[in-house]
Amino acid sequence: MMRALAVLCAAGWLGWGGAGCSSDPNRGYAFGASRSQASRTVAVPVFENQTFYHGLEAQLTDAIIKEIQRRTPWVVTPASAAQTTLSGTITNASLRTLSISAKTGIVEEQAVELTLDFTWRDASGNTLVARKNFKSLESFVPERGTNERIELGEHAAVQEMARAIVGEMRSMW
């Protein structure tokens, strides 16, 4: 039985849902909170957008909310009821050429690169996590034949950014 609990602890299965594991050799394995119980709710106001890519702020905010709901025990609430607030600003969105055809000189692969600053604060204003110039980069293939649209690259970059931000939030546990 203890071996099975040790395996579950090592795999991280018991860390989800409020129970965590300690491998202190003097105490054996202990079950307790693996993250702060003080923060159970988070508000995610629409991120600011300083770029010319219209609508990225709404897509990113929606993706972050869904990622928080999917990967964390926190509940997303309005700012008036939240114990913490995640806010941020998209500072840059750009296209980067990744490859060009040697035969035609046409772009074969491009990437959408997003850069943003974000801060996660508790109700008293203490910073829990803050990052500046946080980047994500996702590629798409606009080349003839596949003809992927830029929106596909934008969507992929937004999804990757949301995963990375929630990963940063979870890392502070």
pLDDT tens digit at each of 173 positions of the chain: 444 444 444 444 444 433 445 445 555 554 544 445 557 899 999 999 999 999 999 999 999 999 999 999 999 999 999 999 999 999 999 999 899 988 888 888 999 999 999 999 999 999 999 999 999 999 888 877 677 888 888 999 999 999 999 999 998 75
Q: Which domains does the chain have, with CATH numbers?
A: 1-34 (no CATH), 37-171 (3.30.160.150)
What is residue 40's three-state secondary structure?
A: coil
Whole-angstrom distance, CA of residue 112 vs CA of residue 101: 19
Interhelix angle 150-171/56-71, nearest 10 degrees: 40
Q: Are 165 and 172 in contact (CB under 8 A)?
A: no
